A and B are shown apart, each in its own frame.
Chain A
Amino acid sequence: MRLAELQAAFQSAVLSGAGKDPTVLASLTKPGARDRATGFGVYVKAYRLRVAEYLEEDYPALKSFLGDKRFEKLVLDYVAANPSRTRNARYFSARLPDFMQESDEWRGEARAQGVAQMERALTDAFDAADGESCPLETLAAYAPQDWPRLVFAFHPSLRLISLPAGVVELYEALSSEGAAPRPEPRDGEEAAAVWRSGFDPAYRALGRDEFLALNEALAGKSFGVICQLVAFQQDEASAPERLAQFLVNWFSEGLVVALGECDDEESPPAP
């Protein structure tokens, strides 16, 4: 058998869990008192154990939510549908939330999929690209009347995610190892920001107006434009004070890495 045929047969049997694959076993020597399947079985078993371990490490809250048996079923489904195509094992589990969304069996598990999204975002934040956060004093250098012309660049780890309502609280309960009760499911949606603060992943729930504001700021809109958009879509009367507070929070939480001014509030340059 040529090397290419041998590797194809070997891999196919490992992926399908065929520890007694006749083509592979026929290619092996018989080692002493053992049968050929014992040695080949080491590779077959190791593959399953290894990929399951990657998923357990990256999705502990999801495992806690689903329970061991359901999580094991999810792992089997994911591994069967998504053989790893990455050299770096770190990224093998990255598609799990998307897989749950695409899968007929798992699509209905909205809260589980939301927890998976949270954990994926936190894992990504852990080793996202570095960025030097601007201290709050950077903002303080600008008079409030100049704020409408400000544009921002954010830490490379920052991600905004839309989740089923209550998932952030659910994630916290799952991560507390029983210290906090699991919230009941409820209708609607919520949003969260996930980023890295120092070396540690961080997150918090976002109200609808802050989610909108942060999305627009990430898209490069000036603070003045963001204020107009939020005032139009939300409660106009309370918008200015809340938005000013959002801005202060973004700086104090280390989300902003660069600050610039645009001449025209409607078409700002990138900072």
Chain B
Amino acid sequence: MEPLPRLGYGLGLRPAYYEEILSSRPAVDWFEIISENYMIPGGRPLAMLERFRSDYPIVMHGVSMSIASVDPLDMDYLAALKRLVERVEPAWVSDHLAWTGVHGVNLHDLLPIPLTFEALDHVVDRISRVQDFLGRRILIENASTYVAFAQSQLTEWEFLDEMTRRADCLLLLDVNNVFVSSFNHGFSAEDYIDAVPRERVAQIHMAGHTDKGSYRIDTHDQPVCEPVWKLFERARKRFGPVAAMIERDDNFPPFSELLAELQRMREIDAAICESQEQTAA
């Protein structure tokens, strides 16, 4: 399996920070874009993206491939995605293990699937066809979920293991989503991290969420919380320094706060590296 480039520490590229990034050229190793935000004819977003991509590596992250939907694959969407891939030349392309609608409708949400062998066969087939169409392997992200289905036959990590192996795709592991889903469904987040297929994880997402008491929602509008940082450390020990980034989509703080979160990632990795060197010595 050919490894993807080790990009380092990145951020989600959001219009709220365009000017700051252009003026300060911050020490961010790479940026991730929401693919759909640039699947438009022209104007400022695409012009800004052209400027950023000359200075930073870019990866593309989609939210509406609807890989688990029973609707036919939307070839118009995939063709537009492919055109953007050709324009942006991203380091890689990702989307979610989710569906967004059926019967031609789109609910603009990452909807949950039953973890059954039927769903597994369906998803594997569709990932394979998307990869054939795009001519590249894609990364699939674990989504936060708020319901679990009685008919599920696999744990989520078993599903991901089978899916990545059979479709020969890669994983975008969202550590915050692991934490949110583990809280909502009562499984061990640590077991999940320890069981995900190590060689398939090519990128890590970190983000904040909202604590609603009896459940948690993946809102990307808060700083990363301490239990998720702890889980990140566990993930880094297992998966190594694959590309990691912070997602922030609302309640935007000063850019310096996001840079501080990236710095914390670097420090966690440095401490792990130091500890491993001492152990080896």
> Of B24-32, B100-108, B155-163, B240-248, which binds chain A?
B100-108
Shortest beta-carbon distance from A6 to chain B in Å: 6
- The interface residues of chain B lying within 8 Å CB-to-CB of A47 are 107-109
- The interface residues of chain A lying within 8 Å CB-to-CB of B70 are 3-4, 7
Shortest beta-carbon distance from B95 to chain A in Å: 11
> Of B142-150, B188-196, B268-276, which binds chain A?
B142-150
Q: Is A33 an interface residue (CB 8 A)?
A: yes
Our pick among B42, B64, B77, B101 for the contact of A128 (Cβ within 8 Å) is B42
Shortest beta-carbon distance from A128 to chain B in Å: 6
Q: Is B280 an interface residue (CB 8 A)?
A: no
Q: Is A109 an interface residue (CB 8 A)?
A: no
Q: Which residue from chain B places its CB closest to the CB of A32 in the assembled complex?
A: B186
* Chain B interface, number of residues (Cβ within 8 angstroms): 48
- The interface residues of chain A lying within 8 Å CB-to-CB of B109 are 43, 46-47, 50
Asked whether, in the complex, the Cβ of B102 is within 8 Å of the Cβ of A27, the reply is no
Asked whether, in the complex, the Cβ of B102 is within 8 Å of the Cβ of A28, the reply is no
* Chain A interface, number of residues (Cβ within 8 angstroms): 48
Shortest beta-carbon distance from A195 to chain B in Å: 11
Shortest beta-carbon distance from A87 to chain B in Å: 4
Q: Which of A4, A7, A31, A196 has the largest number of chain B CB atoms within 10 A?
A: A7
Q: Which residue from chain A places its CB closest to the CB of B76 in the assembled complex?
A: A87
Interface string of A1-21 (1 = CB under 8 A from B): 111101110110011000000
Known A-B contacts A31-B184, A42-B215; A3 and B118 likewise in contact (beta carbons under 8 Å): yes
Asked whether, in the complex, the Cβ of A29 is within 8 Å of the Cβ of B149, the reply is yes
Shortest beta-carbon distance from B117 to chain A in Å: 11
Inter-chain CB contacts under 8 Å: number: 134
C-alpha spacing A34/B214, complex, angstroms = 7
- The interface residues of chain A lying within 8 Å CB-to-CB of B64 are 87-88
Q: Is B45 an interface residue (CB 8 A)?
A: yes
Q: Is A211 an interface residue (CB 8 A)?
A: no
Our pick among A15, A34, A39, A40 for the contact of B105 (Cβ within 8 Å) is A15
Q: Which of B40, B99, B147, B151 has the largest number of chain A CB atoms within 10 A?
A: B147
Asked whether, in the complex, the Cβ of A127 is within 8 Å of the Cβ of B40, the reply is yes
Asked whether, in the complex, the Cβ of B151 is within 8 Å of the Cβ of A27, the reply is yes
Our pick among A8, A126, A157, A199 for the contact of B103 (Cβ within 8 Å) is A8
Asked whether, in the complex, the Cβ of A11 is within 8 Å of the Cβ of B44, the reply is no
Asked whether, in the complex, the Cβ of A43 is within 8 Å of the Cβ of B111, the reply is yes
C-alpha spacing A29/B42, complex, angstroms = 46
Could you tell me the dominant secondary structure of chain B's interface residues?
loop
Q: Is A188 an interface residue (CB 8 A)?
A: no
Asked whether, in the complex, the Cβ of A199 is within 8 Å of the Cβ of B47, the reply is yes
Shortest beta-carbon distance from B131 to chain A in Å: 19
Asked whether, in the complex, the Cβ of A199 is within 8 Å of the Cβ of B36, the reply is no
Asked whether, in the complex, the Cβ of A90 is within 8 Å of the Cβ of B40, the reply is yes
Asked whether, in the complex, the Cβ of B41 is within 8 Å of the Cβ of A3, the reply is no
Q: Is A83 an interface residue (CB 8 A)?
A: yes
C-alpha spacing A54/B215, complex, angstroms = 26
- The interface residues of chain B lying within 8 Å CB-to-CB of A103 are none
Q: Is A36 an interface residue (CB 8 A)?
A: yes
Asked whether, in the complex, the Cβ of B41 is within 8 Å of the Cβ of A127, the reply is yes
Asked whether, in the complex, the Cβ of B41 is within 8 Å of the Cβ of A129, the reply is yes
Interface string of A46-65 (1 = CB under 8 A from B): 11001100100000000000
Our pick among A33, A50, A85 for the contact of B214 (Cβ within 8 Å) is A33
Asked whether, in the complex, the Cβ of A39 is within 8 Å of the Cβ of B40, the reply is no
Asked whether, in the complex, the Cβ of A3 is within 8 Å of the Cβ of B105, the reply is no
Interface string of A118-160 (1 = CB under 8 A from B): 0000000011111000000000000000000000000011000
C-alpha spacing A67/B72, complex, angstroms = 41
Known A-B contacts A31-B148, A92-B108, A127-B40; A3 and B214 likewise in contact (beta carbons under 8 Å): no
Q: Is A38 an interface residue (CB 8 A)?
A: yes
Q: Is A238 an interface residue (CB 8 A)?
A: no
Asked whether, in the complex, the Cβ of A38 is within 8 Å of the Cβ of B43, the reply is no
Shortest beta-carbon distance from B154 to chain A in Å: 14
- The interface residues of chain B lying within 8 Å CB-to-CB of A10 are 111
Shortest beta-carbon distance from A166 to chain B in Å: 29
Q: Is A244 an interface residue (CB 8 A)?
A: no
* Chain A positions near chain B (C-beta within 8 angstroms): 1-4, 6-8, 10-11, 14-15, 26-29, 31-34, 36, 38-40, 42-43, 46-47, 50-51, 54, 83-90, 92, 126-130, 156-157, 196, 199
Subset of 21 A-B contacts with CB under 8 Å = A3-B118, A3-B122, A7-B111, A11-B105, A11-B111, A27-B149, A27-B150, A28-B147, A28-B149, A31-B186, A39-B148, A43-B109, A43-B147, A84-B106, A88-B36, A88-B39, A90-B37, A127-B46, A128-B42, A130-B46, A196-B43
Closest 8 CB pairs of A and B: A130-B42, A199-B44, A127-B43, A129-B41, A39-B146, A42-B146, A127-B40, A39-B147
* Chain B positions near chain A (C-beta within 8 angstroms): 36-37, 39-47, 64, 66, 69-70, 74, 77, 99-109, 111, 113-114, 116, 118-119, 122, 146-152, 184-186, 214-215, 217
